[in-house]
Structure 1
Amino acid sequence: MKYALIIFVCTLFVSCNDSEETDYTVKNDLEIQEYIAANNLNAEKSATGLYYVINEEGTGEQPTATSDVTVAYKGYFTDKAVFDQSDAEGISFNLQQVIAGWTEGITYFKEGGNGILLVPSSLGYGSSGRAGIPGGSVLIFEVNLVSVN
């Protein structure tokens, strides 16, 4: 009996391990599709699971995944709660220094282009999240590619 209790307690702790990665793929995809339908968006889905809407493609240079860019953006959840926002001038960074959803998504625009990136957690902050962004969160970004630097 004593050994059965020890095995049960060990199994309980192992099954409650917070360090395990949770796969949100199906949940995120459904959440994104519901958001697209509710907001009447004409979104494309890439092979990685990123959804994107090109409002204006832009006419300038098109960045690659290793480009330095300046982007003005607003980031929010599917409930429209904003978690981050730049000013109109945007912020500059290298596309290798951001979440995978941005590294891929910004390359769909040319300078002057704008649209929406609908990022599943697998291309964002995963199941662990980060400050102010819970693990497994779908992230939506309104982006304006100001320049390719």
Structure 2
Amino acid sequence: MKYAVSLLLVFICFACADDKKSEQIDYTAQNEEDITAYIAENNLTAEKSATGLYYVINNPGAGEQPTSNSNVTVAYKGHYLDGTVFDQSDAEGISFGLQNVIRGWTEGITYFKEGGNGILLVPSHLGYGSSNYNGIPGGSVLIFDVSLLTVN
């Protein structure tokens, strides 16, 4: 009997895992449309990387340029397409390893040198995906105004 109950629980866990996978929604086309509209509405000159990340370099900076494995200090403001701010650092910024953040930051911060600043327009597949995460709705495009203060 214990074996049958254990087997049933394993089956239920696999079924739940399959349901979670099937709930994943591909927002790539919608995100692309939303980002390009945002760029046009705000008269931005943005570059698009091969991964789908859009970025604007206002000031490239003149110091050290980080790699995707660097530890950096960045001051930033994160907001949605409608301007609603969901996260923000203070002027001193925060320090972190680029391998420990969303893929849009791991890639995007490397486009700047110390002292540089600009905008990262992060589609959901380079952010938090199609699931809700800590109050950020699944499928969200995330916009970050970033300043690379130092490469640590």
TM-score of the two chains, using structure 1 as the length reference: 0.88
RMSD, aligned α-carbons: 1.2
Q: For residue 3 of structure 1, what is the aligned residue in structure 2? A: none
Equivalent of 2:36 in 19, 27, 33:
33
Compute the displacement of 1:69 (Å).
0.1
Q: Which runs of 5+ in 1 are unaligned?
A: 1-13
Partners of 2:109 and 2:134 in 1: CA distance: 23
Deviations 1:23-53 (A, max 9, x none): 0000000000000000000000000000000
State the percentage of identical aligned residues. Answer: 72
Structure with greater helix share of residues: 2
Partners of 2:46 and 2:88 in 1: CA distance: 22
TM-score of the two chains, using structure 2 as the length reference: 0.86
Q: For residue 120 of structure 2, what is the aligned residue in structure 1? A: 117
Compute the displacement of 1:18 (Å).
5.3
Partners of 2:55 and 2:75 in 1: CA distance: 16
Q: Map of 1:1-149 to 2, 5 A cutoff?
A: 17=19, 19=21, 20-149=23-152
Partners of 1:45 and 1:129 in 2: CA distance: 25
Paired AA for residue 61 in structure 2 = G
Compute the displacement of 1:129 (Å).
2.7
Partners of 1:129 and 1:38 in 2: CA distance: 27
Partners of 1:134 and 1:128 in 2: CA distance: 7
Partners of 2:132 and 2:93 in 1: CA distance: 24
